[in-house]
Amino acid sequence: MIVFGPVPSRRLGKSLGINNIPVKICTYACVYCQIGRTLQMTTERRKFYDPNDMVRETKEKIDGIDDIDYITFVPDGEPTLDTNLGKEIELLKNFGKVAVITNASLLWREDVRNDLMKADLVSIKVDAMEEPTWKKINRPHPKLEFSRIIDGIKIFAEEYRGTIITETMLIDGIEYGDEIKHIADFVGEIGAKKAYIAVPTRPPAEPWVRAAKPELVAKAYDMFSRILKTEYLVGYEGNEFAAHGNLEDDILSIPSVHPMRKEAVEKLLAKDGKTWDEVERLIREGKLVEVDYEGKKFYMRKIKSRQ
């Protein structure tokens, strides 16, 4: 199956997925990958599927659906390994806006950049700004060079006229030091419209991988949000911004996207005529987490491991 969905996506709304790469053919072997360990690592681009089959499946899926936000290349491997990518984007734009979610490892190649220029939105992975961290988290193909990838992202961002968003995965056990600030600065420098801070919430490729501590997530959110619009991804991809008139639903759904400062929570309580006892109850029940950062209290939804 090349085309799947539509599925709800935090980043892209209602998204029709395009799986243009056979399972686990990738340039990386990320320790947190929810699909599992990479089966075939490569940096060589080649053809995988017939673009006409992709168009046919897309038409079959999209008939009768009139509110898809994006047709999204989000395969079981790295989408830019597909030499048909540019042609496929052009063909699928006849059905709506097209997005590509890439690990950015091949953006140093001009042909890859040219293919991605045709997309309406490109999501770029930026998990590290230092080579040792990159190698530990993303475990790249040995032919890849970190400096060339960073330069490729910069060149692409300068030339691209569509929307760029980024995703940064934070995991426990990594000594980030000042690196998170450097990632935030870089994301701001390339003109990303929005940054997403993610943590592993599904079984990862490596059993030692755990979600970053809430304190680190809050710190990262604060650093990123000073530079550009920032959200974080911790699980359910529905409409967490909607207010349903149910305090518990609202107070748990909003921190699934944005850590809430104490004063924001207090305003929400006042609006619903509730007291701080409700917050303390959710903390006792393990549904909400309170963290301190730079003298301020933040409240985040408890991340439940699925390992």
Segment 202-244, tens digit of pLDDT: 778 898 998 899 889 989 999 999 999 999 876 544 333 333 3
d(CA 264, CA 260): 6
Q: pLDDT tens digits for 31-76?
A: 998 777 898 999 999 999 999 999 999 998 888 777 889 999 998 8
d(CA 91, CA 276): 54
Same domain for 12 and 152, yes or no, is yes
What's residue 238's pLDDT?
Answer: 38
At 291, list the tokens: 């963290």
pLDDT band at 125 (very low <50, low <70, confident <90, very high): very high
Residue of 21, 77, 76 lying closest to 49 (CA atoms): 21
**CATH number (domain holding residue 48):** 3.20.20.70
Same domain for 217 and 270, yes or no, is no
* Within-domain flag for 92: yes
Which neighbouring-strand residues pair with 168? Answer: 197
Residue where a domain terminates, one of 217, 233, 249 = 233
Same domain for 150 and 279, yes or no, is no
At 157, list the tokens: 């961002």
Measured in degrees and rounded to the nearest 5, phi and psi for residue 13 equal: 70, -135
Residue where a domain terminates, one of 198, 233, 268 = 233
C-alpha angle with apex 40: 154 to 89, nearest 5 degrees?
50
* Within-domain flag for 101: yes
Q: In total, how many domains does the chain have?
A: 2
d(CA 305, CA 307): 6
Tell me the residue type at 144: L
Same domain for 276 and 226, yes or no, is no
pLDDT band at 187 (very low <50, low <70, confident <90, very high): very high
Which neighbouring-strand residues pair with 73? Answer: 18, 100
Which neighbouring-strand residues pair with 25? Answer: 40
Half-sphere exposure (Cβ direction) of 305: Cα atoms closer than 13 Å: 12
* Within-domain flag for 117: yes
Same domain for 169 and 292, yes or no, is no
Q: What is the mean pLDDT of the chain?
A: 87
Same domain for 264 and 191, yes or no, is no
d(CA 88, CA 56): 12
Indicate if the pLDDT at residue 7 is higher than 60: yes
* Within-domain flag for 86: yes
Q: Express as a percent the part of the chain with pLDDT over 90.
A: 57
* Within-domain flag for 242: no
Asked whether the beta carbons of 121 and 70 are under 8 A apart, the reply is yes
* Within-domain flag for 136: yes
Domain enclosing residue 179, as ranges? 3-233
Burial of 304 (0-12, 13-18, 19+ CB in 10 A): exposed
